[in-house]
């Protein structure tokens, strides 16, 4: 099984960074490698990448109990975060395969591989996507022993797994199975396991009492008549989804699908049904989605330039490489406004909207979000027409040169965790009247693309 990402564009990877934007004002830019924050934000701790995977970049994060699972192009690491001020690495697993999106459930860790390999093992090497025997898809690990995770199963999927979204079963099925919605895209005529038209997702069914029996159970087509292919300035035409966020208790999901934003009814887990779809002339690449707690709004991100360009500046402006806030009105998506960080970045800094999560504040809609070398932003979208930044953390340009920054920034049990490409895991705290009530919310698990309401996570 193989993926076309090598042949076209590595969206979300920023492996080869093309930094071509105009420079920001010099007095706006922190000194190289210097951490700067707003007055209500504290940098609690930085933990450098563990030696076994220090040479490859950090990506996504999942949480369960006292542990954080940080994906990395070279594998993943497990961190003990029971005391965030003294957080430490428990173990690292070397198991290469971009981009290592992660999700955790019980004793199982699911990792996404969107890099054509010569086999499914952790000792595999890269192999051309044109070779039929190449593999990519999802790897499953047993992490019951945090110091010695055990690789137990692989599942091959069409065009690999750029991202994955864990969706629990419902009703009697809830304690029996979980489902993985696998997003992949960019087929090609010379990729035997990724032929056009793709325009679909793969759904893996994982029996919880026998996870080694996990297998692809459905491949529903999202765009039977084709996706957005002709809009000017698209990064690439729609050929599938980049990422899906499921709000399982409400039986809905939001898909960020390259050139399209999509809403799904997922009441039948194996047969998600498209209920709404939209495009935006200012969006180059629909990257990710987040529901507000009441599911009355959806935030979509635009990964302009594929994450490899300096787009946080006056030249690009506020409406490109930004977030778009939509209200749900009678099941349809109604555009309200854009949000983009107000801090201009240097022409050496790749910066664009990327992965974030809600901060569980009762009665308000507040997010923390990664912006690559724009750092992370804490912003309030309670008024969907007038979103505003209320806090931030960032570093100045890299003294060593090249790009990087924070891939994902998520709030978990009182702290913000940021996975930085090069610098490792940052732990951050916000003290602000607008977010203070979130400190009372606790959860035992957080896969950000598997949203749960605050009431089920500690709110009254």
Architecture of domain 4-457: 7 Propeller (2.130)
H-helix or E-strand containing 394? strand 388-395
Contact 214, 155 (CB under 8 A): yes
Q: Where are the domains of the chain?
A: 4-457
**pLDDT tens-digit series, residues 70-118:** 999 999 999 999 999 999 999 999 999 999 999 999 999 999 999 999 9
Beta bridge partners of 442: none
CA–CA distance, 429 with 438 (Å, rounded to integer): 12
Cα–Cα nearest to 282, from 312, 259, 307: 259
Alpha carbon 56 to its chain centroid, in Å, reads 17
Other Cβ atoms closer than 10 A to 189: 9
Distances (CA, A) of 250 to 168, 202, 254, 267: 12, 21, 12, 8
**pLDDT tens-digit series, residues 190-244:** 999 999 999 999 999 999 999 999 999 999 999 999 999 999 999 999 999 999 9
Tokens representing 211 are 């996870």
Contact 459, 72 (CB under 8 A): no
Residue with tokens 């990877």: 13
Other Cβ atoms closer than 10 A to 32: 14
DSSP track, 134-161: -B-EEEEEE-SSTTS-EEEEEEE-TT--
The tally of CA atoms less than 13 A away on the side-chain side of residue 359 is: 32
Distances (CA, A) of 244 to 44, 97, 160, 419: 31, 20, 15, 20
Instruction: Identify the band that residue 17 occupies on the pLDDT scale cut at 50, 70 and 90.
Output: very low
Instruction: Identify the band that residue 27 occupies on the pLDDT scale cut at 50, 70 and 90.
Output: low
CA–CA distance, 86 with 305 (Å, rounded to integer): 37
Residue with tokens 């564009």: 9
**pLDDT tens-digit series, residues 47-76:** 999 999 999 999 999 999 999 999 999 999
Contact 283, 324 (CB under 8 A): yes
Contact 432, 368 (CB under 8 A): no
Q: Is the pLDDT of residue 3 over 50?
A: no
Distances (CA, A) of 22 to 85, 212, 412, 459: 38, 51, 36, 46
């Amino acid at each position: 099984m193989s993926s076309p990402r090598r042949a076209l564009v590595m969206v979300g990877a920023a492996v080869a960074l093309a930094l071509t934007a105009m420079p920001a004002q010099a007095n706006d830019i922190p000194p190289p490698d210097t951490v700067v924050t707003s007055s209500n934000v504290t940098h609690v701790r930085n933990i450098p990448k563990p030696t076994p995977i220090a040479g490859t970049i950090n990506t996504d994060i999942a949480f369960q109990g006292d542990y954080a699972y940080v994906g990395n192009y070279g594998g993943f690491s497990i961190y003990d975060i029971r005391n965030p001020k003294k957080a430490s690495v428990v173990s690292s697993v070397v198991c290469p395969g971009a981009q290592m999106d992660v999700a955790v459930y019980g004793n199982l860790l699911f990792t996404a591989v969107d890099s054509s390999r010569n086999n499914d093992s952790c000792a595999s090497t890269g192999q051309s996507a044109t070779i039929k025997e190449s593999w990519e898809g999802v790897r499953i690990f047993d992490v019951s022993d945090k110091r010695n995770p055990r690789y137990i199963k692989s599942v091959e999927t069409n065009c690999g797994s750029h991202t994955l979204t864990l969706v629990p079963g419902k009703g009697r099925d809830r304690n029996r199975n979980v489902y993985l919605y696998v997003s992949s895209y960019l087929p090609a005529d010379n990729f035997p396991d990724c032929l056009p038209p793709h325009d679909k997702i793969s759904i893996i069914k994982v029996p919880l009492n026998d996870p080694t029996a996990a297998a692809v159970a459905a491949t529903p087509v999202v765009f039977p008549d084709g996706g957005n292919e002709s809009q000017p300035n698209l990064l690439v035409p729609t050929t599938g989804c980049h990422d899906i966020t499921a709000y399982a208790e409400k039986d809905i999901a939001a898909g960020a699908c390259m050139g399209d934003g999509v809403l799904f009814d997922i009441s039948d887990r194996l047969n998600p049904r498209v209920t709404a779809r939209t495009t935006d002339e200012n969006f180059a690449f629909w990257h990710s989605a987040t529901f507000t707690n009441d599911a009355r709004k959806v935030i979509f991100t635009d990964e302009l330039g594929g994450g490899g360009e300096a787009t946080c500046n006056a030249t690009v402006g506020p409406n490109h490489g930004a977030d778009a806030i939509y209200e749900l009105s009678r099941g349809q998506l109604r555009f309200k406004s854009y949000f983009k960080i107000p801090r201009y970045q240097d022409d050496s800094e790749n910066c664009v909207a990327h992965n974030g999560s809600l901060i569980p504040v009762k009665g308000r809609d507040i997010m923390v979000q990664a912006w690559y070398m724009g750092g992370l932003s804490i912003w309030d979208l309670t008024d969907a027409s007038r979103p505003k930044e209320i806090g931030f953390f960032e570093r100045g340009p890299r003294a060593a040169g090249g790009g990087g920054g924070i891939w994902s920034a998520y709030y978990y049990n009182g702290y913000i965790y940021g996975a930085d490409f090069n610098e490792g895991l940052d732990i951050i705290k916000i003290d602000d009247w607008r977010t203070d009530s979130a400190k009372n919310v606790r959860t035992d698990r957080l896969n950000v693309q598997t949203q749960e309401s605050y009431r089920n996570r500690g709110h009254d």
